[in-house]
Structure 1
Amino acid sequence: MKRFLAVTLSLGLALGVSAAPDSADAKAKVKTYKNCTELNKDYKGGVAKSSSVKNKGGKTKYKPHVSKDLYEANKKSDRDKDFIACEK
């Protein structure tokens, strides 16, 4: 009985660990947009690196979506370097 429990527990742990998503796979799924027009179709206010960043460019219409991974994938579109890409 103990051996059956040990095998079942080991198998459950092995399957549970292998079913967890890799962080490298999760980062690979972040979409990179070719320009701000494409990014603003999905995120009207642009993409901010964190919720504490402030917009340097002036008044905007929309609040930016906050996502560090998405910002990092599209930081080439942050022309004023305020950590908000494609703000509108």
Structure 2
Amino acid sequence: MKKLVIGILAFGLIQSYSFISTNDVSAAAKEYKNCKEINAKYKGGIARSSSVKNKGGKTKYKPFVSKALYDANKKSDRDHDFIACER
């Protein structure tokens, strides 16, 4: 009986944590209209991961890394190098 109660409590904690974390990530992923708006907040643009390389050559600023934010704004990635609006 004791193991059953502990199992139910553990399951409830795991479910509540996953619910909270997925809502926070989706709320943080704002979709911007264009590169001007993105570069006003993130000077180097938005990268999908820290391991991506820029196809366009040398950039002046380092991009902000966020998979969720990149996915919300991937329409702004014209050269399809997984960095949106790099400068």
TM-score normalized by the length of structure 2: 0.76
CA distance, structure 2, for counterparts of residue 66 and residue 46 of structure 1: 9
Sequence identity (%): 60
What is the Cα-based RMSD across aligned positions, in Å?
A: 2.3
In the TM superposition, what are the counterparts of 1:19-34 in structure 2 within 5 Å? 20=17, 22=19, 23-29=21-27, 30-34=29-33
Q: How many residues align?
A: 85
Give the unaligned 5+ runs of structure 2.
1-5
CA distance, structure 2, for counterparts of residue 14 and residue 54 of structure 1: 40
Query: Larger Cα Rg: Structure 1 or Structure 2?
Result: 1
Q: Runs of 4+ in structure 1 displaced over 4 angstroms?
A: 12-19
Higher helix share: 2
TM-score normalized by the length of structure 1: 0.75
User: What's 2:3 paired with?
Assistant: none
